[in-house]
Copies of this chain bind each other. A is one copy, B any other.
């Protein structure tokens, strides 16, 4: 008692293990390298194009939304003020505008009551994964390479993930069926499968219409839910628009995740989830059935209470000013991404398709839209090689193996082109070519990279 025990000793090993997850800490290295090599061309930033942002727009969006509440919704002044300033409806207050957007852009009719507006799509993933994992038997399937945000949500929600193979046409349905069977043999309960049907992050892969229908049939047969996340569908560069899974969903098997990060702006942190699945109540409670959305809202009331009112109002105003069409709202950005995608593919062809001895060991996919191209290299593309690439050749990219949780993708790099100019892209792909030549030369004379 006379000895002062001193300050409390906290060790990282006393904290929840998700604080040290390798998939997520690797993203820290990327940011750190971007800061350390500011002149490097960065193909690693996944953020949207920012050339059309104007701070003055925010106030106008707020006023547009205020007029909507007054004129279209007919709310008295006191209620309008309350919408902007007070604790609000847990499921949010722009759900009707979101439903309108889905009808305008996708021909999808959803009950606004089945929508929960969330603090970005990230919170929607956390709520959903928390809801679906009741006990240690529950497991979530996901096409792999997987979106790093979904991996993170699973870690923090304590949801075990099981990988399903992906090919150029998106999720491998045969492997999905195999993984479901294997999980059941182990006494596990596969609850849902996560997919990004259009221009997936990180692979750029897209599902055919035939596979979309087959996935829904498989899900019905196996009695699992499908979690659809489709933020890049707005940025198609070629080929016909395909219906979203939710548009094809006749049996309420699809839970659809939505985001305004790639359309309006990422900083708003406004996303949503459509969860129109009826949930049978506990027999003892005497309560009526609720939608899965209502249960997710209960979890949301414990995580963030409600989505920021100002953020919702800004997004609401943005939707209203664009006739509730995100396609119309993002036409300029879509043109930028289309041009950038073409420039990446052209540059890759001109750098690697013409240099003798390189074409056969460098390959890449050709997505029809989105923000990502994946390049397969003739050497290991890990964090050490990334640092070498940044310091010696001034080009940054994202090692793909992080998205495979370290099981594959060791020779692949994701090239993200959303914030670059065509000139930067040409320059960057040229630098990537120099890195490949350097590695080939070292390999030929038997010297490993330092």
Q: Which residues of A contact B (CB under 8 A)?
A: 1, 4-20, 24-25, 27, 47-48, 50, 53-55, 58-59, 62-63, 66, 80-88, 119-120, 122-123, 126, 130-134, 149, 152-153, 155-156, 158, 219-221, 223-225, 251-253, 261, 265-270, 277-282, 285, 290, 292, 295, 298-299, 301-311, 314
Known: A59-B62, A308-B119. A86 touches B265 (CB 8 A): yes
B85→A266 contact, CB < 8 A: yes
A156→B251 contact, CB < 8 A: no
Q: How far is the CA of A62 from the CA of B270 in the complex (A)?
A: 18
Q: How far is the CA of A266 from the CA of B85 in the complex (A)?
A: 6
Q: Nearest 6 pairs between A and B by C-beta? A: A267-B309, A152-B302, A59-B59, A156-B302, A7-B251, A308-B311
User: From A93, which residue of chain B is reached at the shortest CB distance?
Assistant: B267
Q: How far is the CA of A4 from the CA of B310 in the complex (A)?
A: 46
Q: Pick the contact of A225 from B5, B8, B84, B305 — CB < 8 Å?
A: B8
One complex includes copies of this chain to the number of: 2
B55→A84 contact, CB < 8 A: yes
B130→A267 contact, CB < 8 A: no
Query: How near does chain B come to A410, taking the closest CB pair, in angstroms?
Result: 22
Q: How far is the CA of A373 from the CA of B149 in the complex (A)?
A: 44
With a cutoff of 8 Å between Cβ atoms, the chain B residues found around residue A306 in the complex are 267, 269
Q: How far is the CA of A348 from the CA of B221 in the complex (A)?
A: 64
A86→B267 contact, CB < 8 A: yes
With a cutoff of 8 Å between Cβ atoms, the chain B residues found around residue A48 in the complex are 86
Q: How far is the CA of A8 from the CA of B278 in the complex (A)?
A: 9
A-B contact pairs, 9 of them (CB 8 A): A8-B219, A18-B299, A20-B285, A50-B85, A55-B66, A84-B265, A153-B302, A269-B309, A310-B314
Q: Pick the contact of A87 from B47, B220, B301 — CB < 8 Å?
A: B47
User: From A156, which residue of chain B is reached at the shortest CB distance?
Assistant: B302
With a cutoff of 8 Å between Cβ atoms, the chain B residues found around residue A123 in the complex are 119, 303-304
Q: How far is the CA of A25 from the CA of B269 in the complex (A)?
A: 27
Known: A62-B58, A280-B10, A303-B156. A267 touches B122 (CB 8 A): no
Query: How near does chain B come to A439, taking the closest CB pair, in angstroms?
Result: 27
Q: Pick the contact of A122 from B10, B126, B158, B304 — CB < 8 Å?
A: B304
B302→A8 contact, CB < 8 A: no
Q: Pick the contact of A85 from B158, B267, B290 — CB < 8 Å?
A: B267
User: From A118, which residue of chain B is reached at the shortest CB distance?
Assistant: B304
Q: Pick the contact of A62 from B54, B55, B88, B131 — CB < 8 Å?
A: B55
Known: A58-B62, A86-B47, A267-B310. A299 touches B81 (CB 8 A): no
Q: How far is the CA of A97 from the CA of B14 in the complex (A)?
A: 31
With a cutoff of 8 Å between Cβ atoms, the chain B residues found around residue A158 in the complex are 158
B53→A85 contact, CB < 8 A: yes
Q: How far is the CA of A135 from the CA of B280 in the complex (A)?
A: 32
With a cutoff of 8 Å between Cβ atoms, the chain B residues found around residue A80 in the complex are 55
Known: A268-B309, A308-B269. A279 touches B10 (CB 8 A): yes
Query: How near does chain B come to A332, taking the closest CB pair, in angstroms?
Result: 14
